[in-house]
Amino acid sequence: MNVISIIEGNLRKVFNIRTPIMKYREENYCKKCPLAYAIDGRYTGICNKSEGGCGCGVTAKTSQNLQGCPKGFWGSNWFKPELFEEYLKDNHI
């Protein structure tokens, strides 16, 4: 991840300049992903670094044009729903 992407993601988040694909990433992946939840089931909105995530807030993370999910569930213009579903089956929240 580079500094420009981090700035892009945070500016897009703050000013709510988010494309449909950015919202889709957050709604359909990050908000359902175990890495964005604490051990007690509370939604943190942070991609948990200690579990192999990137440590970013998911709203800013999903608002970066050229970056992807550290687990390989989505990228700049693609998704891997089967891989994500498999991960969810093995990692209940």
Shortest Cβ 62–ligand SF4 spacing (Å): 7
Residue 4 or residue 27: which is nearer to ligand SF4 going by CB? 27
Q: How many helices (H) and strands (E) does the chain have?
A: 4, 0
Q: x/- contact string, 71-90, with ligand SF4 (CB under 6 A)?
A: x-x-----------------
How far apart CA 85 and CA 42 sit, in angstroms, is 20
Nearest CA to 74 out of 47, 38, 93 is that of 47
Shortest Cβ 65–ligand SF4 spacing (Å): 15
How far apart CA 15 and CA 31 sit, in angstroms, is 20
Tokens 């729903």 sit on residue? 81
Three-state DSSP at 43 gives: strand
Window 7 to 66, contacts with ligand SF4 (CB under 6 A): 29-30, 33, 35-36, 47, 53, 58, 61
Binding footprint of ligand SF4 on the chain (CB under 6 A):
29-30, 33, 35-36, 47, 53, 58, 61, 69-71, 73
